[in-house]
Amino acid sequence: MRIDIISVVPDLLTSPFAHSIMKRAREKGLLEVNVHNLRDYTPYRQAQVDDYQFGGGAGMVMMPEPLAILLDKLKSERNYDDVIYMTPDGTMFEQKVANRLSMKENLIIICGHYKGIDDRIRQMYVTMEISIGDYVLSGGELAAAVVVDAIGRLIPGVLNDETSALFDSFQDGLLAPPVYTRPADFRGVKVPDILLCGDPKKIDEWRHEQSLQRTRERRPGLLED
Ligand code: 6GU
């Protein structure tokens, strides 16, 4: 999968993909992330990319021309499955959405700043708008990093058996069960006996029961869906 990210603060998008599973995905050639600095594509002087909003009001708006120039260039080079705009008024990002996006070949992600982007870019180019939650971030970059991480780890071959996504919270609509490692007795608190019994079937049943119980207690809404 190839993901092109458009940003006015590209430095925010280096570290999130330089470590751990994202790093391995890129090294294996399964994920290619290209971050583009929007200022490199503006036709305006002094690398201007934003301007006052028509109608007045506080806050700048990202101008359409620099975005259109870069979007046209990318779209002339390959076909994109979606042009995603990160915005707090977008569709809520959930595991279902991540699963679906992980099957795509080429994606563009636009990170907004200030008051957001000129609405004509949304009308003319954007095919999908994503929010990562009901709170406001100062820009779309951290949200884009969340989305790319959630998608990237689902690309076939990125995770191995040990990191398998199959048992993640949400993947089966339930929260994950509790996990333990050594020591079996930590300051007097013991690992549940069943995990030491050696019977995989019994352990699976216990884990499923724990998943159900956690979901009932913490996120009962998930059981209704
Ligand atoms: Cl995608 N962008 C911004 N700026 N704030 C957000 C968000 C996105 N999702 C939740 N809050």
CATH number, domain of 178, equals 1.10.1270.20
Q: 137 C-alpha vs ligand 1 centroid, how far in Å?
A: 5
Residues 148 and 173 occupy one common structural domain? no
Residues 71 and 12 occupy one common structural domain? yes
Based on its alpha-carbon atoms, the radius of gyration of the chain, rounded to whole angstroms, reads 22
In a domain, 67, yes or no: yes
Task: Look up the domain containing 177 and give its range.
Answer: 169-224
Q: 112 C-alpha vs ligand 1 centroid, how far in Å?
A: 9
Pocket residue to mutate for ligand 1, from 12, 86, 129, 138, most atoms within 8 A of Cβ: 86
Average model confidence (pLDDT) for the chain? 95
In a domain, 216, yes or no: yes
Straight-line distance from the first to the last Cα atom of the chain, in angstroms, rounded to the nearest whole number: 30
Domain tally, the chain: 2
What is the CA angle 10-79-4, rounded to 5? Answer: 10
Residues 51 and 138 occupy one common structural domain? yes
Nearest C-alpha neighbor of 152 from the set 10, 35, 17: 17
Q: Which atom of ligand 1 is nearest to the CA of 135?
A: 11
Residues 113 and 181 occupy one common structural domain? no
Which residue among 152, 179, 214 closes a domain?
152
Instruction: Dump pLDDT digits (tens) for 57-96.
Output: 999 999 999 999 999 999 999 999 999 999 999 999 999 9
Residues 91 and 145 occupy one common structural domain? yes
Residues 122 and 205 occupy one common structural domain? no
Q: For residue 189, what are the β-bridge partners? A: 186
Pocket residue to mutate for ligand 1, from 132, 135, 138, most atoms within 8 A of Cβ: 132
Q: Is 86 in the pocket of ligand 1 (CB under 6 A)?
A: yes
Residues 128 and 205 occupy one common structural domain? no
d(CA 68, CA 74): 10
pLDDT value, residue 170: 80
pLDDT value, residue 97: 97
Q: Is 143 in the pocket of ligand 1 (CB under 6 A)?
A: yes
Residues 114 and 202 occupy one common structural domain? no
In a domain, 56, yes or no: yes
Instruction: Dump pLDDT digits (tens) for 174-187.
Output: 999 999 999 999 99
Q: 148 C-alpha vs ligand 1 centroid, how far in Å?
A: 14
Q: Is 132 in the pocket of ligand 1 (CB under 6 A)?
A: yes
Instruction: Dump pLDDT digits (tens) for 4-25.
Output: 999 999 999 999 999 999 999 9
Residues 17 and 112 occupy one common structural domain? yes
Q: 44 C-alpha vs ligand 1 centroid, how far in Å?
A: 27
Which residues have C-beta within 8 Å of that of residue 111, sequence separation ≥ 6?
Answer: 5, 6, 7, 8, 9, 86, 139, 140, 141, 143, 144
In a domain, 159, yes or no: no
Which residue among 117, 152, 187 closes a domain?
152
Q: Is 139 in the pocket of ligand 1 (CB under 6 A)?
A: yes
In a domain, 217, yes or no: yes
Model pTM score: 0.95
pLDDT value, residue 136: 94
Q: Which atom of ligand 1 is nearest to the CA of 116?
A: 4
Instruction: Dump pLDDT digits (tens) for 116-126.
Output: 999 999 999 99
pLDDT value, residue 172: 82
- 2 with 32: CB under 8 angstroms? yes
Which residue among 88, 122, 152 closes a domain?
152
Reported as a pLDDT band with limits 50, 70 and 90, residue 169 is confident
